[in-house]
A and B are shown apart, each in its own frame.
Chain A
Amino acid sequence: MAKIPEEELMNSGHNACPGCGAAHAMRYMLKALGKDTTVNIPACCWAVIPGVYPSKNLEVPLLYTAFETTGASSSGIRAALDAKDIDADINVVGFAGDGGTADIGIQALSGAVERGTDTIQVMYDNEAYMNTGIQRSGSTPQGAWTTTTPVGSEKAWKKQPKKDMMDIMESHNIPYAATVNIAYPQSFIEKFKKAAEINGPKFIHIYAPCPTGWRSKPSKTIEIGELAFKSKVFPLYEIENGVYNVYKKPKEEIPVKDYLRTQGRFRHLPEEEVEKIQKNVDRYWDKLLKKEKFTQEELYKEE
């Protein structure tokens, strides 16, 4: 088990809401990567969390960029560092929310990964446009209430499942991709450290609860993270050169409804919808285990 480094590169005095999962995400990421790291941040909660000019609560250089540019910005920073022959061990991180990754930023992300940019592209996933006030994104889970999927008489909660960014990244032949959960800081830090050792593009999908948008108790953020893992709603796995590894499997499994009931955004869901969600979660988990088995035991057996 990795020890959590004591060095703090995120100082107190941030602007995040109480119980913000994204705040944990940045803190643990910087603990893992250390100070030889540049971070570029598009429009998202983290464009505000570091502080208002002239304040800044992070001990790493920050480039704020436009919403859809995270991937291109990472490529630009890396190109300049290479052009200047500056130490190649610097981590160039693009740190975007789910909207800036899965929706408006997906083109620039795809470009950066396809070009083989040596960067860690992070999606801290709070499952909606939280900074603008809880609008649905492509990463909002099935069944969720948001301000643009309101639950009126027409029951217009989000009907579609989440966009699978890990699969999309895998389809780019990315050398390394991993999911991490702020409720499990050891593996969180371990996976970031592993990513830092790999040359080329890396993608890390962070599960980051948002009490404000999820209508959950700020004090329950870590607990919700644990339930997401135990209910298999957010599996913890990595893909290294095409090989899947579900690196942490729940010892005690719980039904999805135990996860859903912790958040007001799901409270409208009738029994049959919860069953549908349970079925989708089970199918995804099953598929994931099959991918793991197939890629480990058959597809890349010779390697």
Chain B
Amino acid sequence: MLRRTTAALAGSVAALSLLVTACGGAGPDTTPSKATTGKVTFWSFLKGSDHVAEAFNRSHPDIQVTFENVPSNQEYYSKLTNAVKAGTAPDVAVVEYPHLPEFATQGKIEDLSGTLGPVVKERFPEAVRQLVDLGGRTWGVPRDVAPLLLMYRKDFFTRHKIAVPTTWDAYRTMTEQVRKADPDARGGVLFTDNPGLLTALSWQAGAKWFDAGQDSWQVTLDDGPSKRTAAYWGDLAREDLVRSLSAADPFWTSIQKNRTVAYVCASWCAGAHQATVPDQKGKWAVAPVPTWDGKPASGMYGGSSFVIPKGSGNSRAAAEFIKWITTDPEGMKAWVSSGTSSMFPADPALVPVTKAAFGTEYYGGQDLYALGKASYDAVRPGWAWGPVMGATNTALVDRLPKVAGGTVSLPDVLTLAERTTVAQMKQRGMRVTAP
């Protein structure tokens, strides 16, 4: 019993922050200050990373950044974990928000509180700071955020006199109207291979899946708002009011064939959508995401941050690079230089940069960034990602395809995923006090 408690404490957030400060956190500050120079390796799977590295090298002759294009998904995170273990990690790496706590609690990334912490505090709103801060320390610097939006076929809605829903009750009515108007068409999707949207919608409803206390975690994947959201989408899928399909090509096929005429997505989807289905130009429009009570509320579906993995030989230059690519207008300009990205910068001051780069003729000239800004402002506070999100997501994805068939209910999927998550966390020596 005693042994177990010690192990649990060692893995807990409080102990971790202490430990990290003790061994690595002070490093960059105590080194004698000289100009930041040297080589920086940079791992990323984000589009535009090559342009960003080039642009940085041009404007910073003292630092040489080498960009390495790596595959995304879970494979990337195991690769990064192994690289840190072996001491061959890069100096800068991309990590999506859901995976950040996992790297932080395992001590795989540097505590940035001393170096980039002030920048994060100064430039980024609470809605995204809550995603990179853990245990009172800063572990990553946000690049983009992914507030929710509703994409819909304007032509279809007008032709069949369907109103754009602002509440989830109205959304349900809309899906019924869509199916009535065209038996082949549906007004939404439940992705079977990506739990991100369901998570974001729970977040929007006010759910809190994880809470890191002083020395323990609370895990409540099936709290009230989550259950409500899950029951709602589970019903829609079972009644065949929304499609249940993979987020990869089956989804885009359904768009291309006019079988999906509305779906909830995030700001970045606008660019992905227009690039993938270019011939539906002018037919789509974007609206605020519906909410439960009609008042603005949002969550995030995607987004990424940058970290300095443990063992980086040049964390000063790495920090300089991270700062430039996340908060400098020139850096942001390089990210979106292809003109195809509709990503929403985490730093609100950079919105004009991305807005200028992304043409919205596809959406009839709509001001997407105003919609994105409103949604970003409405992102619910109090959300935190868990320390074993890989396991959590796998547990969710394993059962999602069975929801539409009625073999398992969506709220039950959450309960089962919670069980898997808690088991995994205990296995790693973390203390879980709730449920």
A, B in one complex: no
Interface residues of B (CB under 8 A from A): none
Interface residues of A (CB under 8 A from B): none
